Amino acid sequence: MKPPSQIRRFLRHPSGAVGLALLLFFVAMALAAPYLFPQGPYKMVARPMLWPGQNPDLLLGTDSLGRDLLVSVVYGARVSLLVGLSAALASAIVGAAVGLVSGYFGGWIGDMLMRITDAFQTLPSFLAAILIVGLIGPSIGTIVTSIALVSWPMVARLVRAEVLRIKTLDFVQACRIMGMPDWRIMLAEILPNSLGPIIVATSLLVANAIIIESGLSFLGLGDPNMMSWGGVIGNGRSALRMAWYITMIPAGAVVLTVLALNLIGDALNDVLNPRLRKG
Amino acid sequence: MSLTDTSARRAPAARLALPPWARFLLGRLGQAFLVMALVVIGNFVIMQMAPGDLVTVIAGGADMTQEQMADLRARFGLDLPLLVQFWNYVAQLLTFDLGYSYRMNAPVWEVLSARLPTTAALVVLSLLFSVTIGTVMGVVSARRAGTLTDMGINAVALVLYAAPSFVVAMLLVLVFSVKLGWFPIAGLTTVSAGYTGWALVKDMAAHLVMPVTALCTFYVAIYARLARSTMLEVMDQDYVRTARAKGLSETRVIYVHTLRNALLPIVTMAGLQVSTVLGGAVVVETVFGLPGMARTAYDAVFQRDTTMLLGVMFVSSLAIVIVNLAVDLLYTVLDPRVSLK
């Protein structure tokens, strides 16, 4: 079995190591939030728009309502990662299912599924997310659903391409001759062998979901009960002239998290799909 | 003679003996139809799932009794069975009637058609600039693969790839409007100046620099990465080695033999990107206060103007479908190997 060596190769990959370290930092932040700041992110602690360092107790200063910006940023990590992970998992599962069925059975079922996948991929995804979240109501549930709904096609296409390749291999033929049922061949034989591209795609899906979520919150379409980076940036917009740190600090957090996930995706791609990339 | 015989016998089995280009066109039109069907069904489902309906929107401003509201519902056909309502919605869209916005007091299409050019300009300019700049970055990067220049370009692309458009937009506003005062902060023109002719064009251009840049950066990164990897791939091909062996200059090898072939995936990507750029336009038009169609979506959300929002979705999807059809046709011109299927 290869896994241990692949993990070692991932850690030795420069972008993998850097990305993982960055991501772990934000994950730790998200997990520790309620223990570090049990009072929650909405409590007013001082005068509004205190610059970072002006008050030694408030490392990142306060926002335009006098709330501690550090607490907002720490709690924001929870929303971004939660939405990112759930939306990515949901779209990976749906995409993998559609890709498996369409690639394995082929024929008109496969064609039809791919036509539908293409149609979903053609939709203006962010607009669709605004439509769903805006009209049905902003909550973590609608946000995750709307992101998953527009992200699964990419996984479906990737998985289908993998399945089309794998299903012609000898071991799959052997399973068929042994009389293994189709669903077992798909789930137990083909799926594990096409995990590489799925894992790579999932890391990029998390990044993409975080971008969409922060964009929605920026527009005021975030979950009203949760402090998210996009929301803080959106609120800080009107104070850009006076206090740009209110927008730029959470903006930096979004960029660093997405960067970390992209680096991880690149490294995973090099480690898991060596034949796909030369340059 | 035997050849004609077989084809004559086979023709009825193939149902329609269409020429390849017609079959290609039909397939593409079918796909376009499917996308629009998806949009219409999606719109209808969301309309049903949204709390409140058209009548609650109208009643929002006025005092209405339950009877009056029920009466209005009957007049709009909102009390009919769902399937009938769906059919009415489809029939309405088929005549390109997008409905009436009670918030704007105008037909949806009238509002949107007035705002479409701004969004179209934004999207087209962004695509143009991102494809050009991204491709140049990718080509330079690929030619100097492994050098410091290559690493620098990759690093820039990596950061741009991680920055959402609204973050770039805010940063641009902060640096170039608030701090440096180089570009106007919002709007499409300086209304008070009353420019005409060439001055108006220059004024609009100044207003569009930041929005277009904000919308570009992410795609610049995508095209830079894509162009780099396809260039590297194409440079390995036999015909490039042949071109080099013939003694052609490096510039000619790169730009005539390699880049031309590396352009294909970029064109495909550009076609796919139209839909995501449109999404980004919502954010960018909102930040920069541009009177475009995408921004209308944002306003409509907060005014609970469902008809308008669904209209934006329909018009945007239709525009995307048309552009994709055009890209498909362009593709067959660029690459004769793509048999029309």
Domain range holding A230?
Answer: 3-37+63-277
- Ranges A203-207, B165-169, B189-193: which has the least confidence: B189-193
Sorted by sequence, the CB contacts under 8 Å of residue B184 that are 6+ apart come out as B177, B190, B206, B207
Cβ contact B276–A125 (<8 Å): yes
Average pLDDT over residues A47-58: 73
Q: Is the pLDDT of residue A86 over 90?
A: yes
| Burial (0-12, 13-18, 19+ Cβ within 10 Å), B5 | exposed
Per DSSP, the three-state class of B180 is coil
Whether the CB of A88 is below 8 Å from some CB of chain B: the reply is: no
User: Number of A:B CB contacts under 8 A?
Assistant: 150
Q: What is the CATH number of the domain that holds A190?
A: 1.10.3720.10
Sorted by sequence, the CB contacts under 8 Å of residue A67 that are 6+ apart come out as A41, A42, A43, A44, A45
Sorted by sequence, the CB contacts under 8 Å of residue A212 that are 6+ apart come out as A87, A125, A126, A129, A147, A150
Is the CB of residue A60 less than 8 Å from the CB of residue A249?
Answer: yes
The predicted structure's pLDDT at residue A24: 92
**Of residues A118, A132, A259, nearest to B46 (C-beta):** A132
Is the CB of residue A152 less than 8 Å from the CB of residue A120?
Answer: yes
Distance CA B190, CA B184 (A): 8
Average pLDDT over residues A70-97: 90
**pLDDT classification of B5: cutoffs 50, 70, 90:** very low
**Of residues A120, A131, A279, nearest to B232 (C-beta):** A279
Q: Which residue of A has its CA nearest to B317?
A: A123
> Residue B52 is which amino acid?
G
| Burial (0-12, 13-18, 19+ Cβ within 10 Å), B8 | exposed
The conformation of residue B174, written as its DSSP 8-state character, comes to: I
**Of residues B164, B170, B321, nearest to A240 (C-beta):** B170
**Could you tell me if residue A82 is inside a domain?**
yes
Distance CA B82, CA A2 (A): 55
**Of residues B34, B165, B294, nearest to A119 (C-beta):** B34
- Provide, as residue numbers in chain B, all residues whose Cβ is less than 8 Å from the Cβ of A237: 170, 287
Q: If you average pLDDT over every residue of chain B, what do you get?
A: 79
Distance CA A44, CA A57 (A): 14
Whether the CB of A273 is below 8 Å from some CB of chain B: the reply is: no
What number of residues does chain A have? 279
Half-sphere exposure of B151 (CA within 13 A, CB side): 4
**Could you tell me if residue A56 is inside a domain?**
no
Per DSSP, the three-state class of B37 is helix
- Provide, as residue numbers in chain B, all residues whose Cβ is less than 8 Å from the Cβ of A131: 43, 46, 297, 309-310, 313
Whether the CB of B51 is below 8 Å from some CB of chain A: the reply is: yes
- Provide, as residue numbers in chain B, all residues whose Cβ is less than 8 Å from the Cβ of A132: 46
The predicted structure's pLDDT at residue A3: 57
Whether the CB of A10 is below 8 Å from some CB of chain B: the reply is: no
What is the pairing mode between strands B100-101 and B106-107? antiparallel
Cβ contact A137–B312 (<8 Å): no
Sorted by sequence, the CB contacts under 8 Å of residue A262 that are 6+ apart come out as A19, A203, A204, A207, B158, B161, B162
Q: What are phi and psi of A224, to 5 degrees?
A: -65, -15
Cβ contact A125–B42 (<8 Å): no
Total-model pTM: 0.85
**Of residues A124, A218, A259, nearest to B166 (C-beta):** A218
Per DSSP, the three-state class of B145 is coil
Cβ atoms within 10 Å of B116's Cβ, excluding its own:
18
Cβ contact A122–B278 (<8 Å): no
Q: Is the pLDDT of residue B2 over 50?
A: no
Write the pLDDT tens digit of every residue in B95-151: 887 777 777 778 888 888 888 888 888 888 998 899 899 988 888 888 887 788 888
Q: How far is CA A77 from the centre of its chain?
A: 12
Cβ atoms within 10 Å of B302's Cβ, excluding its own:
11
- Kindly tell me the sign of the dihedral angle through the C-alpha atoms of B48, B49, B51, B57: negative
**Could you tell me if residue A133 is inside a domain?**
yes
Interface test with chain A among B29, B167, B177, B185, by most A beta carbons within 10 Å? B167
**Could you tell me if residue A47 is inside a domain?**
no
Cβ contact A247–B174 (<8 Å): yes
Distance CA B251, CA B242 (A): 15
Both structure tokens of B231: 């260039």
Cβ contact A123–B229 (<8 Å): no
- Provide, as residue numbers in chain A, all residues whose Cβ is less than 8 Å from the Cβ of B306: 135
- Ranges A55-64, A175-184, A209-218, A243-252: which has the least confidence: A55-64
Q: Is the pLDDT of residue B240 over 60?
A: yes
The predicted structure's pLDDT at residue A54: 72
Q: Is the pLDDT of residue B73 over 80?
A: no
- Kindly tell me the sign of the dihedral angle through the C-alpha atoms of A97, A103, A106, A112: positive
The conformation of residue B106, written as its DSSP 8-state character, comes to: E
**Could you tell me if residue A53 is inside a domain?**
no
Inter-helix orientation angle A195-218/A69-105, to 10°: 140
Buried b (16+ CB within 10 A) or exposed e, A166-183: bbeeeebeebeeeeeeee
- Provide, as residue numbers in chain A, all residues whose Cβ is less than 8 Å from the Cβ of B228: 279
Q: How far is CA B55 from the centre of its chain?
A: 33
Q: How far is A218 from chain B (nearest CA, A)?
A: 8
* ipTM of this complex: 0.83
The count of domains in chain A is 1
- Provide, as residue numbers in chain A, all residues whose Cβ is less than 8 Å from the Cβ of B280: 126
Cβ contact B38–A116 (<8 Å): yes
Cβ contact A115–B34 (<8 Å): yes
The predicted structure's pLDDT at residue B1: 37
Q: Is the pLDDT of residue A240 over 70?
A: yes
Write the pLDDT tens digit of every residue in B296-334: 888 888 887 888 888 888 888 888 888 888 877 777 776
Q: If you average pLDDT over every residue of chain A, what do you get?
A: 84
- Provide, as residue numbers in chain B, all residues whose Cβ is less than 8 Å from the Cβ of A119: 31, 34-35, 37-38
Cβ contact B297–A130 (<8 Å): yes
Q: What are phi and psi of B101, to 5 degrees?
A: -90, 115
Distance CA B71, CA B146 (A): 73
CA distances in angstroms from B93 to A106, B77, B86, B110, listed in the order given: 34, 16, 11, 15
Nearest to B142 by CA among B259, B267, B264: B259
Distance CA A226, CA A143 (A): 12
Give whichever of A150-154, B66-70, B203-207 has the largest mean pLDDT: A150-154
Whether the CB of A275 is below 8 Å from some CB of chain B: the reply is: no
- B window 192-231, beta carbon within 8 A of A: 228-229
Question: Could you tell me the end-to-end alpha-carbon distance of chain A, in angstroms, rounded to an integer?
Answer: 27
Q: Which residue of B has its CA nearest to A209?
A: B164
- Kindly tell me the sign of the dihedral angle through the C-alpha atoms of B228, B230, B236, B241: negative
Both structure tokens of B154: 């990759």
The correct CATH number of B108-303 out of 1.10.3720.10, 1.25.40.10, 1.10.730.10, 3.30.200.20 is: 1.10.3720.10
Both structure tokens of B127: 């695509």
Interface test with chain B among A123, A139, A212, A278, by most B beta carbons within 10 Å? A123
The predicted structure's pLDDT at residue A206: 92
Q: What are phi and psi of B181, to 5 degrees?
A: 65, 30
DSSP code per residue over chain A: --HHHHHHHHHHSHHHHHHHHHHHHHHHHHHHHHHH-TT-TT-B-SSTTPPTTTSTT-TT-B-TTSBBHHHHHHHHHHHHHHHHHHHHHHHHHHHHHHHHHHHHH-HHHHHHHHHHHHHHHHS-HHHHHHHHHHHH--SHHHHHHHHHHHHHHHHHHHHHHHHHHHTTSHHHHHHHHTT--HHHIIIIIIHHHTHHHHHHHHHHHHHHHHHHHHHHHHTT-S-TTS--HHHHHHHHGGGTTT-THHHHHHHHHHHHHHHHHHHHHHHHHHHH-GGG---
H-run or E-run covering B307: helix B306-334
Detail the DSSP E strand segments found in chain B. Answer: 100-101, 106-107
**Could you tell me if residue A45 is inside a domain?**
no
Write the pLDDT tens digit of every residue in A132-174: 888 888 888 899 999 998 889 988 988 888 888 888 888 888 8
**Could you tell me if residue A55 is inside a domain?**
no
Sorted by sequence, the CB contacts under 8 Å of residue A74 that are 6+ apart come out as A29, A30, A32, A33, A36, A37, A41
**Could you tell me if residue A50 is inside a domain?**
no
Residues of chain B with CATH 1.10.3720.10: 108-303
Whether the CB of A125 is below 8 Å from some CB of chain B: the reply is: yes
**Of residues B47, B297, B317, nearest to A123 (C-beta):** B317
**pLDDT classification of A89: cutoffs 50, 70, 90:** very high
- B window 159-178, beta carbon within 8 A of A: 159, 161-167, 170-171, 173-174, 178
